[in-house]
Amino acid sequence: MKLLITLLTFASLSLTSFGQDAKSQDILDALSTKMKTQHSFYIEFNASIKNSSTGTNESETGKGWVKSNKYHASFGDNTIISNGLKTWTIVKEEKSVYESDADEDDEESINPSKLMTIWETGFKNKYHKEITLNNDPTHVIYLYPKNPGSVEYHTIILYISKEKNELKKVTMKTKDGTSVTYSLTKFTSNTTIADSKFVFDSKKYPGYNVIRD
């Protein structure tokens, strides 16, 4: 549950970007252009949360489906589904389903499309360096929130494949010393996804308590 809350926090922001680094901005603009050609996509990722001072070391695997403004994300035992109008957060540990309006929940959800476009608003960006990650030349770009007092993190680090123009990894550094990392292990673009994937089906969750905002 702790990892779920941290992952939800990771996706929340509503700021305005400014003061961009020219080199990093060009790379990010090219990645945004590529993402805009994806009418739908499927991703798989590993997510981890670590804090040496508290001894926290948790990890989960996750999957995400996106189609227009609809999404379905699962990580560990938890799932978030949105059909663009309603969002359902399913917490297996509690046998609970939290239902809310999608527009109200949008800033706090782990929408996979946000993960794939998180750099577009709310940050200054700075090119850091080029490294080799899994034998792939990779750009490392730092994001800094415009209004750091309104968020719990101070830095987000993007790892972008130089040759494939694809996001490979995202790391968030929080003010309490926690690091949250998403490592993308699979990306499939313009895949066929049935609309039923984005609607909560109570028959699949017998005995769950549905809590509506």
Instruction: Examine residue 196 and state whether it is found in any structural domain, yes or no.
Output: yes
Structural domain total, the chain: 1
DSSP 140-168: EEEEEESSGGGSSEEEEEEEEETTT--EE
pLDDT at position 85, please?
92
C-alpha distances out from residue 93 to 47, 77, 124, Å = 18, 8, 38
Instruction: Examine residue 91 and state whether it is found in any structural domain, yes or no.
Output: yes
Instruction: Examine residue 42 and state whether it is found in any structural domain, yes or no.
Output: yes
pTM: 0.79
pLDDT at position 113, please?
66
Find the domain containing 94 and state its range: 2-208
CA distance 185 to 175: 27
CA distance 83 to 200: 9
pLDDT at position 88, please?
94
Q: What is the pLDDT along the chain (213 residues), one digit of tens a residue?
A: 545 445 544 444 333 334 468 999 999 999 999 988 888 999 999 989 999 999 999 999 999 999 988 999 998 888 999 998 999 999 999 999 999 988 764 444 446 767 777 888 788 999 999 999 999 999 999 999 888 887 888 999 999 999 999 999 999 999 999 999 999 999 999 999 999 999 999 999 999 999 997
Instruction: Examine residue 170 and state whether it is found in any structural domain, yes or no.
Output: yes
User: How many separate helices (H) and strands (E) can be counted in the chain?
Assistant: 4, 12
CATH code, domain carrying 137: 2.50.20.10
Instruction: Examine residue 97 and state whether it is found in any structural domain, yes or no.
Output: yes
Instruction: Examine residue 78 and state whether it is found in any structural domain, yes or no.
Output: yes
Q: Are 64 and 79 in contact (CB under 8 A)?
A: no
Instruction: Examine residue 213 and state whether it is found in any structural domain, yes or no.
Output: no
Instruction: Examine residue 143 and state whether it is found in any structural domain, yes or no.
Output: yes
